[in-house]
Amino acid sequence: MTTILLFKDLYNEAFKNLGNIFSVNIFKVMSWFCFSCIAVILYAFVYRLATGFAF
């Protein structure tokens, strides 16, 4: 649980004094897109491991 809180604090501090609202929103959208891409990659890897895919 502390790891999640550390990531939350890191996320909030990263966007605190970044600049105008447009650039902040663009960076937030890009960061969530990257997080979702990583989640899809991890899901695909675990699925392949679980189904016995021969690497």
Confidence (pLDDT) at 23 = 81
pLDDT tens digit sequence for 10-29: 888 887 877 788 887 888 89
| 24: exposed, middle or buried (Cβ count in 10 Å: 0-12, 13-18, 19+) | middle
Domain total of the chain: 1
User: Within a domain: residue 32?
Assistant: yes
User: Within a domain: residue 55?
Assistant: no
Confidence (pLDDT) at 16 = 80
The residue range of the domain holding 39 is: 2-50
Confidence (pLDDT) at 55 = 66
User: Within a domain: residue 10?
Assistant: yes
User: Within a domain: residue 45?
Assistant: yes
pTM of the predicted model, to two decimals? 0.62
Buried b (16+ CB within 10 A) or exposed e, 4-23: eeeeeeeeeeeeeeeeeeee
Q: In the chain, where do the E strands start and end?
A: none
User: Within a domain: residue 27?
Assistant: yes
User: Within a domain: residue 24?
Assistant: yes
